[in-house]
Amino acid sequence: MRPPLVELDDVSKYYGNIRALEGVSLEVHSGEISCVLGDNGAGKSTLIKIISGLHQHDAGTFRIDGTETRLGSPRDALDRGIATVYQDLSVVPLMPVWRNFFLGSEPLKGTVPFRRMDVQFMRETTRAELLRMGIDLRDVDQPIGTLSGGERQCVAIARAVYFGAKVLVLDEPTAALGVKQSGVVLKYVAAARDAGLGVVLITHNPHHAYLVGDRFVLLKRGTMAGSHLKSEIALDELTRQMSGGSELDELSHELERAEVPAHLGGHRGDRA
């Protein structure tokens, strides 16, 4: 059996005395979407930083294609086929779509000293790659800042696929989007999966996760609160675990209005 594209086994990360992650395990397989769910402060950002090479883990094992590794930088992660799309996307709003698509990796043509960017190739390739993902933009020359949030996310996904990513890490791609735009993004997340990529979807929305996810890891205060295959858990139970079902039950009980004894009751209007 082929090993996972990326595997974290009992991984921990500490910042001084602060426990950011402890004992977290995650598998990312080709053609699957592994969803990492948790509220703010659950450890999702720290997990992203470890997978993307921004930070190194302090304990546990990190494997890529079955080989234990320790990434030294985000460039190291990219060279190993791990692309991360952050929530802010890091685009240049006033530049055209095609320019953002190739930003930092612009192809050149001509000979020294007359080498220049191959603009025609970039335009044609951007349009073709977006179409291949099912994204039909009216004009790749329009500034990327004029696109909707969902469309910008989709361009970032198509870019990662084009540049050879094997693993795509998505940081809360639907967090700031409405229902319709979220649906558009999830459609292209599924397209990346169908193209054979292993996808890590970071989200706090169990409904979005359940629509596309194959595996679910729940984080709470830096530790694992659950790990499930889709076949093992229903949406209602995933939502209950994500929201801290037992804690909510306890809180609901505490917030219930106690019945006021009749002899202590009365109407506010009775006061003089």
- pLDDT tens digits, 211-263: 999 999 999 999 999 999 999 999 999 998 887 655 555 655 666 655 556 66
Mean pLDDT throughout 23-44? 93
- Choose between 113 and 89: higher pLDDT: 113
Show me where the domains of the chain are located. 6-256
Residue 265 scores a pLDDT above 80: no
Which of the four pLDDT bands, split at 50, 70 and 90, describes residue 269? low
Nearest to 83 by CA among 192, 187, 174, 7: 192
- Choose between 269 and 168: higher pLDDT: 168
> 């990327």: which residue's tokens?
144
Cα–Cα dist 154/135, whole Å:
8
Residue 259: other Cβ atoms inside 10 A: 7
Mean pLDDT throughout 21-26? 94
Which of the four pLDDT bands, split at 50, 70 and 90, describes residue 272? very low
- Residues 154, 7, 15, CA angle at the centre, nearest 5°? 90
**90-112 per-position pLDDT tens digit:** 788 899 999 999 988 888 888 88
Which of the four pLDDT bands, split at 50, 70 and 90, describes residue 267? low
Strands (E), 43-172: 59-64, 67-68, 82-85, 108-109, 116-117, 167-171
Cα–Cα dist 21/12, whole Å:
5
- Choose between 9 and 250: higher pLDDT: 9
pLDDT reported for residue 132: 85
Cα–Cα dist 33/31, whole Å:
7
pLDDT reported for residue 237: 92
Measure Cα distances from 3 to 8, 30, 263 in Å: 12, 10, 70
Mean pLDDT throughout 78-96? 87
Residue 26 scores a pLDDT above 50: yes
**125-177 per-position pLDDT tens digit:** 999 999 888 888 879 999 999 988 888 888 988 998 899 899 999 999 888 88
Cα–Cα dist 205/172, whole Å:
9
Q: What is the pTM of this model?
A: 0.84
- Mean pLDDT of all residues belonging to the chain: 87
Cα–Cα dist 61/69, whole Å:
8
Q: What is the CATH number of domain 6-256?
A: 3.40.50.300
Cα–Cα dist 100/94, whole Å:
10
Rounded (10°) CA dihedral 190, 166, 78, 89:
0
The number of CA neighbours under 13 Å toward the Cβ of 193 is 21
Residue 36 scores a pLDDT above 50: yes
